[in-house]
C-alpha cells in the first residue's frame, strides 16, 4: 500500500512523493488523514530547516483522521473510528520523566508526516495520547488538539490567577490560542503585534486591549499604561520567537512578575537582559516547550466542549497537492492556519 507524502529536502524545497507504507508493527495503527493543519514549526522547517532534522524529512504533525488498520495486540474495534492524537509520547523512564518533566523527555517518540494520505501512529503515542472523537466533533476541530495543548502548557507555566493582567506578544495561532486560554483563567489580556488584521482577530477572541507595535513610539510604555498604577503586567508571554521580542517581553512585567518565553528562536541566537530586572524586581523568567499527556487530554476536552472553535483558526482548505502553497501563505501571515485535506 502506498501514500502520497510531503517531504522537505532543503529550505523552500518541498516535494510531494509516493512511498510504501509498510507493514504495521505491534501496537501501531494506520490512520487515513482527513485534516492536517499548517503550523509555525512546519513553516520554520520549510523556510530555514532545523538543527535536529536531517532531510529528507516528512512535514505535518497536527492532524486527525479515521483508523483503517491496526497492528498486533491492538483492539480491532478501533478500525473505522474517528481519532486524533498528539505527535509525541514520553518514555516515563528517563531522568526528566521521573521528575515529572515529561515534556523534556530525552527519549520522546516524535511523529511527523501528516501531510499525507495515510500515517502510521507508533505504539507509544497510541497508548498515551490517542483520543476517539465524539460524533459531533469534526476533523478540523480535532486537529487543533496538539497546538492547543502546547499553548496550554505555556499558560500553565505562567500560573495565571483570576484578575491578573497578561500581555502577549504575537497574534499568530499560538498567541491567539493563549489569549482564549488566559481569558478562561479570568485574566485581562493585552495583545501586541504588528499585523492589524491579526490584532482585530485577537480582539474578537477576547483580548481586552490591542497594541499595534508599528503605530506607537514606545511599546513598553503603552503596555504598562494599561496596567494598575502603570506598574506592569503580572505575566508577559512572548509567542513570536525572535530575540528582540524576547528582550522586549522582559520589560513588560511588574516587580515580582513572570515572563514566559514561548516562541522558539533560531538556533544559536542570544538575548541581553538588564540584571536589575532579575535581581531587584525578582522577575521570574521561564521557557515553555512541548506539552504533556495531561495537557493533551485537557485540550481535547476544551475542544469537545466547544470552548475553542476551529472556525476561528482555519483560514482556508487546500488539497494535498497544494501543501506548499498553504505553507507559503502561512509564512506570509495571510490568515492564521490552513487545513490540508488529502
Average confidence score pLDDT of the chain: 96
Instruction: Give the tens place of pLDDT for each residue, 73-107.
Output: 999 999 999 999 999 999 999 999 999 999 999 99
Instruction: Give the tens place of pLDDT for each residue, 257-280.
Output: 999 999 988 888 999 999 988 999
Q: How confident is the model at residue 181 (pLDDT cuts 50, 70, 90)?
A: very high
Is 23 strand, coil or helix?
coil
**Res. 51: pLDDT tops 80:** no
Q: C-alpha cell of 144?
A: 487543533
Q: What are phi and psi of 65, to 5 degrees?
A: 180, -160
Peptide bond before 143: cis, by omega within 30 degrees of 0? no
What number of CA atoms fall less than 13 Å from residue 98's CA on the CB side?
3
The predicted structure's pLDDT at residue 99: 96
Please state the rounded mean pLDDT for residues 164-190.
98
Residues sharing a CB contact under 8 Å with residue 179, sequence separation 6 or more, in sequence order: 168, 171, 189, 191, 202, 205, 206, 207
Residues sharing a CB contact under 8 Å with residue 286, sequence separation 6 or more, in sequence order: 157, 158, 258, 259, 260, 261
Percent of the residues in the chain that have a pLDDT greater than 70, as a whole number = 100
Q: How confident is the model at residue 42 (pLDDT cuts 50, 70, 90)?
A: very high
Taking the C-alpha atoms of residue 16 and residue 12, their distance in angstroms, rounded to an integer, is 13
Q: C-alpha cell of 178?
A: 493563549
Q: How confident is the model at residue 176 (pLDDT cuts 50, 70, 90)?
A: very high
What are the C-alpha distances in Å from 119 to residues 27, 139, 258? 14, 15, 40
**Res. 50: pLDDT tops 90:** no
The predicted structure's pLDDT at residue 267: 81
The predicted structure's pLDDT at residue 52: 77
Write down all domains in the chain, each with its CATH number in brackets: 2-144+313-340 (3.90.180.10), 151-287 (3.40.50.720)
Instruction: Give the tens place of pLDDT for each residue, 148-175.
Output: 999 999 999 999 999 999 999 999 999 9
**Which parts of 269-322 fold into alpha helices (H)?**
275-279, 293-304
DSSP class of residue 116? B
CA torsion sign, 310 to 86 to 28 to 128? Answer: negative
Q: How confident is the model at residue 202 (pLDDT cuts 50, 70, 90)?
A: very high
Instruction: Give the tens place of pLDDT for each residue, 228-244.
Output: 999 999 999 999 999 99
pLDDT higher for 128 or 51?
Answer: 128
The predicted structure's pLDDT at residue 49: 86
Please state the rounded mean pLDDT for residues 24-34.
97
Please state the rounded mean pLDDT for residues 189-193.
98
Instruction: Give the tens place of pLDDT for each residue, 305-329.
Output: 999 999 999 999 999 999 999 999 9
Angle formed by the axes of helices 145-158 and 173-184, to 10°?
Answer: 60
The predicted structure's pLDDT at residue 53: 86
Chain centroid offset of residue 70 CA? 28
**Res. 128: pLDDT tops 90:** yes
* CA-derived radius of gyration, the chain: 20
The predicted structure's pLDDT at residue 48: 86
Q: C-alpha cell of 16?
A: 510531494
The predicted structure's pLDDT at residue 214: 95
DSSP symbols for 37-97: E--HHHHHHHHH--TT--SSEE---EEEEEEEEE-TTS-GGGTT-EEE--SEE--SSSTTG
**pTM for the whole thing?**
0.95
Taking the C-alpha atoms of residue 82 and residue 79, their distance in angstroms, rounded to an integer, is 9
Instruction: Give the tens place of pLDDT for each residue, 132-151.
Output: 999 999 999 999 999 999 99
How many residues are there in the chain?
A: 342
What are the C-alpha distances in Å from 165 to residues 144, 161, 210? 26, 9, 13
Are 142 and 93 a contacting pair, CB within 8 Å? Answer: no
Are 23 and 76 a contacting pair, CB within 8 Å? Answer: no
Is 318 strand, coil or helix?
strand
Residue whose entry in the numeric block shows the C-alpha cell 497536527: 62
Q: Give the closest residue to 179 by CA, choosing from 152, 145, 157, 217.
A: 152
**Res. 225: pLDDT tops 80:** yes
Amino acid at each position: 500500500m502506498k501514500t502520497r507524502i510531503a517531504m522537505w529536502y532543503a529550505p523552500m524545497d518541498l516535494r510531494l512523493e509516493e512511498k510504501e507504507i509498510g507493514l504495521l508493527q505491534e501496537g501501531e495503527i494506520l490512520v487515513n488523514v482527513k485534516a492536517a493543519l499548517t503550523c509555525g514549526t512546519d513553516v520554520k522547517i520549510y523556510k530555514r530547516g532545523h538543527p535536529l532534522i536531517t532531510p529528507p524529512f516528512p512535514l505535518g504533525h497536527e492532524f486527525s483522521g479515521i483508523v483503517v488498520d491496526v497492528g498486533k495486540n491492538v483492539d480491532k474495534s478501533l478500525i473505522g473510528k474517528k481519532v486524533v492524537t498528539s505527535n509525541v509520547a514520553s518514555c516515563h523512564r528517563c531522568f526528566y520523566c521521573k521528575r515529572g518533566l515529561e515534556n523534556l523527555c530525552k527519549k520522546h517518540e516524535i511523529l511527523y508526516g501528516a501531510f499525507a494520505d495515510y500515517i502510521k501512529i507508533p505504539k507509544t503515542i497510541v497508548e498515551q495520547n490517542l483520543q476517539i472523537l465524539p460524533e459531533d466533533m469534526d476533523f478540523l476541530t480535532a486537529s487543533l488538539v496538539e497546538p492547543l495543548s502546547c499553548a496550554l502548557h505555556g499558560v500553565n507555566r505562567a500560573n495565571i490567577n483570576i484578575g491578573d493582567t497578561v500581555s502577549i506578544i504575537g497574534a499568530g495561532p499560538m498567541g491567539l490560542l493563549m489569549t482564549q486560554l488566559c481569558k478562561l483563567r479570568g485574566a485581562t489580556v493585552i495583545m501586541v503585534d504588528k499585523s492589524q488584521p491579526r490584532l482585530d482577530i485577537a480582539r474578537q477572541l477576547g483580548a481586552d486591549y490591542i497594541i499595534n507595535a508599528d503605530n506607537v513610539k514606545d511599546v513598553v510604555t503603552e503596555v504598562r499604561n494599561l496596567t494598575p498604577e502603570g506598574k506592569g503586567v503580572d505575566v508577559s508571554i512572548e509567542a513570536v520567537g525572535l530575540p528582540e521580542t524576547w528582550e522586549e517581553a522582559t520589560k513588560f512585567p511588574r516587580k515580582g512578575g513572570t515572563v514566559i518565553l514561548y516562541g522558539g528562536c533560531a538556533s544559536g541566537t542570544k538575548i541581553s537582559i538588564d540584571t536589575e530586572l532579575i535581581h531587584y524586581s525578582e522577575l521570574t523568567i521561564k521557557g515553555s516547550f512541548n506539552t504533556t499527556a495531561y495537557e493533551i487530554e485537557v485540550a481535547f476536552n476544551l475542544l469537545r466542549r466547544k470552548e475553542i472553535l476551529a472556525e476561528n483558526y482555519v483560514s482556508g482548505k487546500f488539497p494535498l497537492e497544494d501543501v506548499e502553497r498553504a505553507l507559503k501563505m502561512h509564512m506570509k501571515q495571510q490568515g492564521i492556519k490552513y487545513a490540508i485535506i488529502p
